[in-house]
A and B are shown apart, each in its own frame.
Chain A
Amino acid sequence: MKIELDGLTPRELTVRILWIAIRLLLVLVLIARGSYFFYQGF
């Protein structure tokens, strides 16, 4: 049986949520640091 949530398979859903989370995490880290990481380093 194929499981779908609003037309999304669990795999598609996981990939989309992960992709959102990765970008959001990066944004939040940069905003929280208040400076650019290429210069400051992590």
Chain B
Amino acid sequence: MFESSVDLGTPLFCAFLVLALALVMPLRDARLRWWTIAAVDVGFVAALVGARGAALAVALCGVVYLACRAMQRPALCRPAVWIVGLASALLFLLHKTLLGPASLKQVLAAIGFSYVALRTIELTRAVYEGAHPAPKLAKVIAYLIPFHMLAAGPIQAYADFAVQPEVCEKLGLRATLDGVDLIVHGLFKKFVLAHAVDAVLLTHFRQNGAYFLLELQAFYVWVYLDFSAYSDIALGIGRLLGIATPRNFDRPLSSRNLIEFWERWHISLSQFIRNNVFIPLQLFGMRKTDGARPLLVASLAFSVSFLLCGLWHALSLRFLTWGAMHAFGLVVCNAYKHTLRRRLGRAGVASYLGKPAIRWLATALTFEYVALSLAFVAYPFQGYLR
């Protein structure tokens, strides 16, 4: 149904995977290793979208690298450097995405603009706050445009990237099998299971009535299989190359409420939103209200965070509505949790939620709500929502 711009089944991707494994795995010198990883990443972008696309990606990395270096100079005004560096990097990408020629738009879509943009924010913020020193150029490239995470993330937290060892230990048999197993598991999910659901059950929501309800369920399952497959493959490649790659899904279909769902679905995105939007907004709101209105503040923070999350997926009314549905669901879920806790107490809530009937009902409701929100994104609407 929906195709990613970086297709993991193509000979190009497989060739780069083999090349990366052959070049990077034996290296024990840290500097050489990171430059080799960066070269493979740039080479992949070049092979995918041409020299112009690769030059664009390297230019972006250069801007971010210089901004990070400048932020470490005490003589310069750090907030100004951060804002200017971040804004110029993002505007550069946004300008080319929205106003550039069609070929360049394809380039930016292919290098996963949205993921690169969020990683840019992560990196510059970490350096600005002094949590980590400015990285070398090779590491900036390896962090911003990792070839194995361009297809569908994860959006790696810079803290996770920065703390990994410079040179990974030599892989044992068990670790190698774990990595290969993850890659094959992802391929199996994408090319066999997701493909089966797509071919047998999905009609792009062209059927109405009872079949629409069936397709609603199938579409959610398909999105999960396809999306999590990319993450499994990225995780497996990361294991083999010794590059820290975060887990992005943790059985989200069995979530019992929307808050739990966002702790299990696209984990790296929800962590990014929590750290960069939700918590700063919540802290700001709590300070403004002297902590008197926690529920209202949390509700506003949820709303802003998920409306932005919707727009991050695509600048469209469709995704704004999807974000609004999740914001509404999270606000209701949080308020319900709050009310239950006030009425029943902590122990009472735990006992109530532990009842099998409640557990099943909550899981089914969460599943249906998420499925409905996804169908809203994919339904062939006419007019404004097209």
Interface residues of A (CB under 8 A from B): 5-8, 13, 16-17, 19-20, 23-24, 26-27, 30-31, 36, 38-39
Contact = CB atoms under 8 A, between A and B. Distances in A.
B187 A24 contact: yes
Those 4 A-B pairs whose CB atoms lie nearest each other, nearest first: A6-B173, A23-B188, A36-B199, A6-B174
B192 A8 contact: no
Contacts of A19: 181
A40 B134 CA distance: 54
A27 B184 contact: yes
DSSP majority for the B interface? helix
A38 B200 contact: yes
Contacts of B191: 27, 30-31
A19 to B, nearest CB: 8
Interface in B1-49: 9
Contact of B9 (A13, A23, A31, A38): A31
Contacts of A39: 199
Nearest to A24: B184
Contacts of B180: 20
A26 B192 contact: yes
B172 interface: yes
Contacts of A13: 173, 177
Given A23-B187, A23-B192, 14 more contacts: A6-B172, A6-B174, A7-B174, A8-B174, A8-B177, A20-B177, A23-B188, A24-B184, A24-B187, A24-B188, A26-B192, A30-B192, A36-B195, A36-B199
Interface size class of B (residues with CB under 8 A): 10 to 19
Contacts of B196: 36, 38
Contacts of A5: 173
B185 interface: yes
B172 A16 contact: no
A40 B199 CA distance: 11
Contacts of B195: 30, 36
A36 B197 CA distance: 11
Contacts of A17: 177
A15 B173 CA distance: 14
Contact of B199 (A16, A24, A38): A38
Nearest to B11: A31
A37 to B, nearest CB: 9
A14 B215 CA distance: 39
Nearest to B14: A31
Contact of A8 (B173, B185, B188): B173
Contacts of A24: 184, 187-188
